[in-house]
Chains A and B, each alone.
Chain A
Amino acid sequence: MEVKDKMNHSDSIRLLAAEKYLLGELPDDTREEFEEHYFACEECAEDLRLGAALIEHSKVILAEAPPQDAPHRVKPESSSGQLLGWLRPAFLVPVMAVLLAVVGYQNFVTYPRLSHRVASLDKPALMASVSLIESNTRGVSRGVVNVQKGQPFLLYLDIPDDSRFTSYKAELLGPSGELDWSLVIPAAQAKNTLPIRAPRAPDGSGSYTLVVKGISSDNQASEVGKYPFDLQIQQ
């Protein structure tokens, strides 16, 4: 079977063929030539795959956030009748009432709470903690940490030194095995005992496990330790 490859690799790069293909801008004959080419050319095939993946993932991500106002768009002007319609008491009074309620709640509830929280961060305080240093060792009983509800707590951890890894990742698994949070730890910091501040107890009292994985320079992850502990919430 003879198939002529009319477009070569240099042509496809020079023409931005992959981009034009994905944008639907290639004329029919050039499109067919590019297709003949990318079926045979590893680099262009990979390029096209990544371009297509970029577009597909972009659609998902861009759909998550509503667009900002587009100042370049010319919005249709409202007629005077429409403008006056917004000022009708039957519409305006309830809207103002809702706005007043929102402002009042913010001023009397939300902002004072936030101020209190910010102020509390400036004060010294004891924090519940548990040492996981030996919990990876067989025969050692599980550590227990008693934490006030909604409060953070400290986990003390020693990671075995291993030159294979450029960083580590600590993942907290909840009582049912689900991932609560993960934390990347540079290898340099892992040489010392680590105090990890867990934000709060996400799943209530129960048995938790901190799983530590070593990350190599080629991004391969290898589990280096599992550190179980019990967490008890005090109301």
Chain B
Amino acid sequence: MQFHAFDESYLQRLCSGDFRTETHFVDYFSELIQLKLRSRVKSPQVVEDLRQETFARVFTALRTEGRLKQPERLGAFVNSVCNNVLLEHYRAHSRENPMEEDADQKLPDTSMDVVSIIAQKQMEDKVRQILEELPERDRRLLREVFLEAQDKDIVCKNFGVNREYLRVLLFRAKQAFKELYIKRVPASARDATAG
């Protein structure tokens, strides 16, 4: 996902409903919002509802003239809106009245196209390569932590390592994946859109 400077020009295109800019915007922030929500909310359906509500409110706010004065703060604004949506969810556990003026707001479809599917397959291949290069012990450690979701303290104790070892293992695997991914996956397959 290429970063596009969230400058005045970008903001104007977003506010004017430029489809490619909207698509980039939704693609760029969707995963970040999902990561944030999943750390707090278990239900995938609720995560999706809150994600959509966040975008609905952001788009409404953006199209209210003068609402966002610093375009470079767009990311922080999205985060702030998501925080508000989460707070309301905690209080109410359900919303009965989404913002009516955006009841028909259609978010750009983020389902995967062929290029994205190919990119996902390429990512999986790279991850497989990285896992194969790990010692068996580290693979088992990752399996128990991530796949079997066992208590991390117990897993670390069983493997005779501390939590820092686990963090560094993840860091190194991520760095190796980043190097492989950026080198080998074509930019066109990494980008959702060219904005």
A→B interface (CB under 8 Å)? 1, 3, 5, 16, 18-25, 31-32, 35-36, 38-42, 45-55, 57-63, 67-68, 70, 72-73, 218-220
Contacts and interface: CB of A to CB of B under 8 A. Distances in A.
Contacts of B178: 47, 50
Interface stretch (B14-22, B76-84, B92-100): B76-84
B63 interface: no
A49 B1 contact: yes
B127 A3 contact: no
B164 to A, nearest CB: 9
A136 B67 CA distance: 61
A222 B145 CA distance: 41
29 contacts: A1-B67, A1-B70, A3-B80, A18-B174, A19-B170, A21-B39, A22-B170, A23-B170, A36-B76, A39-B32, A40-B73, A45-B1, A47-B174, A50-B177, A50-B181, A51-B174, A53-B123, A54-B127, A54-B177, A57-B123, A58-B131, A61-B128, A61-B131, A62-B142, A63-B147, A72-B160, A219-B186, A220-B186, A220-B188
A189 to B, nearest CB: 21
B106 interface: no
Given A1-B77, A31-B39, A53-B127, 18 more contacts: A1-B76, A3-B76, A23-B145, A23-B166, A24-B39, A35-B36, A39-B75, A40-B79, A45-B3, A46-B1, A49-B31, A51-B174, A53-B123, A57-B123, A58-B147, A70-B158, A73-B158, A218-B186
A72 B80 contact: no
Contact of A23 (B29, B140, B152): B152
B127 A16 contact: no
B194 interface: no
B35 A52 contact: yes
A36 B186 contact: no
A103 B161 CA distance: 42
Contacts of B75: 39-41
A58 B142 contact: yes
Contact of A40 (B76, B174, B177): B76
A48 B3 contact: no
B42 interface: no
A25 B68 CA distance: 33
Contacts of A16: 167-168, 171
Contacts of A50: 174, 177-178, 181
Interface in B45-83: 67-70, 73, 75-80, 83
Chain A residues touching B, majority SS: helix
Contact of A39 (B68, B78, B143, B188): B78
A225 B36 CA distance: 47
B32 A38 contact: yes
B124 A1 contact: no
Nearest to B128: A61
B64 to A, nearest CB: 12
The number of chain B residues touching the other chain, given as a range, is: 35 or more
B13 interface: no
A33 to B, nearest CB: 11
B136 interface: yes
A58 B143 CA distance: 8
B111 to A, nearest CB: 17
Contact of A57 (B77, B124, B145, B184): B124
Contacts of B171: 16, 19
A55 B78 CA distance: 25
Contacts of B39: 21, 24, 31
B31 A52 contact: yes
Contacts of B76: 1, 3, 5, 36, 39-40
Contacts of B152: 23
